Structure 1
Amino acid sequence: MSPYRSFVTQGRFCAIETPAGSGHQREGMFQRELRHAFRRARNAGIERPVVVGAIPFDADRPPSLFIPQSSHGFDRQTFLQGRNVRGGALPQVIEKVERPLEHDFRRMVAQAVEATGQQRLSKVVLSRLLDITTREPVDTAALMRRIVAQNPASYNFHVPLDDGALLGASPELLLRKIGRRFYSTPLAGSARRDAEPDRDAAAGRQLLDSAKDRYEHQLVIDQMREVLSPYSEGLNVPSEPGLVNTPTLWHLATAIDGDVADPEVNALSLACLLHPTPALCGAPTDRARRLIRTLEPFDRDLFGGMVGWCDEEGNGEWVVTIRCARVAGNQVRLFAGAGIVPASTPESEWRETGVKLNTMLSAFGLH
C-alpha cells in the first residue's frame, strides 16, 4: 500500500527460491529463475504476472518471494476514507524481552563508534529487537488495520510467511521504477517529534542543522550516487537533503531520480544493486556487514531487507523493511536500527531505536 500503487494478492502460483544476492545480474541465476517463473505464470493463464514479497538483509539467503494467482488494485485514499481501518482489540501482552539488553546494546554502540573512528569504516548500522508474547494468537489483519490507521502516509505491507506474516509501515523508498524512470528516497539521520507544534518544527530544523546527522546522511547519498551512476542517464541527486516525517520521527531525506541506461533493467535488478544501502548497513558495505555479524547477537533475517513487487515489464516498487514486525501465532518480534558514526553516543542511539520501536508498540497500544 503506497502513494503510487496499492493492491492485494490472492493465492500463490509459485515461489522464487534462488537467493537475490545475484539479483542485479541480468544473466544471474536469480533473474533467470524470475523470467522463467513469469513465463510459466503467463502460460498458465495469469495475465500480467507480478512477483511480490520480501528479500532478507543477507541477500545470499533464500527470499520470501512468490507470484500470486491473482491481484487487484485499490485506491489508497478511498480505502482510508471509506472504511474503518482501526481494527478491533488485540491480545493482551504478557511478556516483552529486549535483545540485546540496554547495557549490551550500549556496549555494541561504543565498539562501533571506536571502529568508525579508525578511518577504515565510516558508518555502521546496529539494530535491536523486542520480542513480545501475547496471551492469544495475534490477528495480523486487525494489527495491519491499526498500523495503516496510525501510518496512513507510509509504505504499508503485509507479507504471508510459512510461519506467520511480516507486516509494517516503512517510511523509506528504496527503488521505484515505471518504464525507464526510477526514483529512490534514502533516509538517514532522524530526530524525535514533539506533540507541541512549535517544538516539533524546531526539532525538524535542528535535525537539518545537525552536523552529525548531515554527515551520516551524506555517506548514504554518496554511495547511492556511485552505485547508480553507471546504470543511469540524467541521474539527479540534490545537493541538500530535505525533511520527511512519520508520526514519531523526523528524517533527513534526499529524493533521487533518473532514467535507466538499459531499458531491459527491471526494478528488482536495481533494488538488488542498491541493497543493502548504507542507511541499513553502513559504509563501506563489506566492512560494515562484517562488524554487524560480529556485534549483533541475532540474525536479522527479513528485517533490514526489502519488501515490494515487480512486474514482467520491469516496473516495481521496493521499500526498506523497517518499522515492522514478524508475527507467528502469539509471538511478535519488532526491529529497529540506528546509524553509528564517530559522533554517535550509546545513550542517544538507545533512545533513537526506542523511538523507532514506538511505531509498532503504538499499534499494540503499548506506547
Structure 2
Amino acid sequence: MYLAVKGAEQKNPQHRESLAQAAMLTPTSGFFFTSPFRSLSTQGCFAKIAQPAVDGEDLQGQFQQTIQQAFAQARAAGIKSPILCGALPFDTRQPSALFIPEKTQWFKREAFMAGMEPDAGVLPEIVHQVELPEQQQFIQMVTEAVQATAGEQLDKVVLSRLLEIETREPIDCQALMACIIAQNPNSFHFHVPLEQGSLVGASPELLLRKSGNQFHSNPLAGSAPRENDPLRDRQASQRLLASNKDRYEHQIVTEGMHQVLAKRCSHLHIPASPELLSTTTLWHLSTPIDGEVADPAENALSLACLLHPTPALCGTPTLTARDLIKQLEPFDRGLFGGIVGWCDSEGNGEWVVTIRCGTVNANQVRLFAGAGIVKDSSPQSEWLETGTKLSTILRAFGLNQG
C-alpha cells in the first residue's frame, strides 16, 4: 500500500472509524474521486457505457435514455443505489468512458487526507520526454489564434499542449496517485480506469455539482503563477485581479455559462466580479455560481453536458473555437479537456473539468495543459502558463520543468 493511516492514538471513536475506513481505500482499484463534498471509490464493473454524449443535455435524447436503461438494469440485478462514473471526452461526438460499478464506497475527504501518508518509495526514472507541439509551433498556434480573435467570428479559443514521457520501468499508478494527492491537497483528485491504462489528475475546477434541485459551478479562467515570497505572491494575485486581459477572458466564460443555464433554471446567481482561487502553483480568477433547476427531471450529467465544453476549455462561440482547435492542435485531445465525475439514479452528482491530468499506461505517460487565448494574449506568456500547469503533474515524478 502507498497510503497509510497515521494518528492511531486519536481518542474520538468516530474519527478512528473514519481513519480506519480511509486505510482500506485503494485509489486505483476502480474509479476514485475526491471532493470536499462527497468522495467515492468503486470496485468492479456492472456495465460500460460508450454511447457518445453529443445529445447529453437532452433529457429525452439517446444518451440519457441509455443511462436510464443502464440504471434500471443495475437495480434489477440487485444494485440498490447504482451510480454512473467515469469521463466524457472533450469532443462529445467521440465515445464516452463511463461505467456503472458493482460496489461503491463513500468516504469523507478530510478523514482520508488526515490519514494519508505517501509511501517512501521512488517512482521510476524518466528516460525520455517530448513536447507536443514544440515551443515554436505552439507560439505560432497562439499567434494564429490571436489573429482569429481580432475579427468578429471568435472571442476566445483554448489551445493546449502535451508532454509525452517514457519511464525506465512501468509506473505504479497507486504510488503516482499518492504523490498527486500530496502535491495538490485541495484539488478534486481522480483515477479513471481505461481500456488501456488510467486517467489520473488533480483538477481545481468544478463544472457542475447537483444535489436535489440545487446546483453549483465554479468556472476558472485567467491565471498567474504563484511566487515563493509571500509579498510577491500577494502582488501577483492582485495583478491578476486587476488584469483587463484576464478579466475579459473570465467574463467570456461567465457570460457563456449564463446564456446556456438561464433557460433551464428557476433561479440563477452569477456574481458580477470574479474572486481569487489559489492552487499550489497558480492563482486563478474564479466565480462561484449557484442556481435551481426549473425541471426536477434534470440530472447532474444533463446539466454538465449542457455546459460542456465551456468557454474555459474550448472557447466561444463553441463550434467556431472547436473547429479552430482541430485545425491548429497537432493531436486529438481525447479525454483531455473533457469532464470526469459521477451521478446517481436520483440525479445528484458532481463533475469537474479534466485538467491538471495525464494518462498512464505501463511506462508511457501523457500530460495535458491548456490556456485561453484572446485578442490581447501574448504567445510567450501562454507558453509559460501551460508550462506552469504541466509542472503540477511533473512534480509527482520528482521533476521540475526546465
Structures share fold, TM-score greater than 0.5 = yes
2:5 corresponds in structure 1 to none
Q: Is the 8 A contact 1:86 1:149 kept in 2?
A: no
Which of 53, 63, 70 is 1:37 aligned to?
70
2:282 corresponds in structure 1 to 249
Amino acid at match of 1:89: V
Amino acid at match of 1:142: A
1:252-267 alignment to 2 at 5 Å? 252-267=285-300
Does residue 307 of the first structure (1) align with residue 334 of the second (2)?
A: no
1:189 corresponds in structure 2 to 222
Offset, 1:87: 5.9
Give the match's secondary structure for 1:20.
coil
1:1-367 alignment to 2 at 5 Å? 1-85=34-118, 88-367=121-400
Q: Is the 8 A contact 1:96 1:133 kept in 2?
A: yes
Amino acid at match of 2:225: R
Q: Is the 8 A contact 1:87 1:143 kept in 2?
A: no
Q: Where does the alignment leave 5 or more consecutive residues of structure 2 unmatched?
A: 1-33
Q: Deviations along 1:315-364, whole A, 9 cap, x unmatched? A: 00000000001011100000000000010011000000000001000111
Q: Is the 8 A contact 1:266 1:314 kept in 2?
A: yes
Check 1:136–1:291 CA distance in 2 against 1; reply closer, same or farther (3 A cut): same
Structure 2: distance between partners of 1:83 and 1:167: 18
2:25 corresponds in structure 1 to none
Q: Deviations along 1:244-267, whole A, 9 cap, x unmatched? A: 011000000000000000000000
Amino acid at match of 1:172: E
Structure 1: distance between partners of 2:319 and 2:303: 19
What is the percentage of aligned positions where both structures have the same residue?
59
Structure 2: distance between partners of 1:270 and 1:276: 12
Check 1:12–1:87 CA distance in 2 against 1; reply closer, same or farther (3 A cut): farther
Q: Is the 8 A contact 1:5 1:73 kept in 2?
A: yes
Q: Deviations along 1:117-171, whole A, 9 cap, x unmatched? A: 0121000000000000001111111100110111111000000001000000000
Structure 1: distance between partners of 2:337 and 2:121: 29
Amino acid at match of 1:293: K
Structure 2: distance between partners of 1:37 and 1:211: 47
Structure 2 length normalisation: TM-score? 0.91
Q: Deviations along 1:269-303, whole A, 9 cap, x unmatched? A: 00000000000100110100010000000000000
Structure 1: distance between partners of 2:390 and 2:198: 18
Structure 2: distance between partners of 1:106 and 1:54: 30
Amino acid at match of 1:158: H
Give the match's secondary structure for 2:54.
helix
Give the match's secondary structure for 1:21.
coil
Offset, 1:83: 2.9
Structure 1: distance between partners of 2:189 and 2:115: 18
Give the match's secondary structure for 1:107.
helix
Give the match's secondary structure for 1:52.
strand
Q: Deviations along 1:12-52, whole A, 9 cap, x unmatched? A: 00011210111101111110010000000001111210000
Give the match's secondary structure for 1:22.
coil
Structure 2: distance between partners of 1:231 and 1:192: 36
Structure 1: distance between partners of 2:65 and 2:50: 12
Offset, 1:188: 0.3
Structure 2: distance between partners of 1:270 and 1:282: 18
Check 1:22–1:134 CA distance in 2 against 1; reply closer, same or farther (3 A cut): same
Amino acid at match of 1:267: A
Structure 2: distance between partners of 1:334 and 1:143: 13
Give the match's secondary structure for 2:267.
strand
Structure 2: distance between partners of 1:358 and 1:7: 27
Q: Is the 8 A contact 1:87 1:146 kept in 2?
A: no
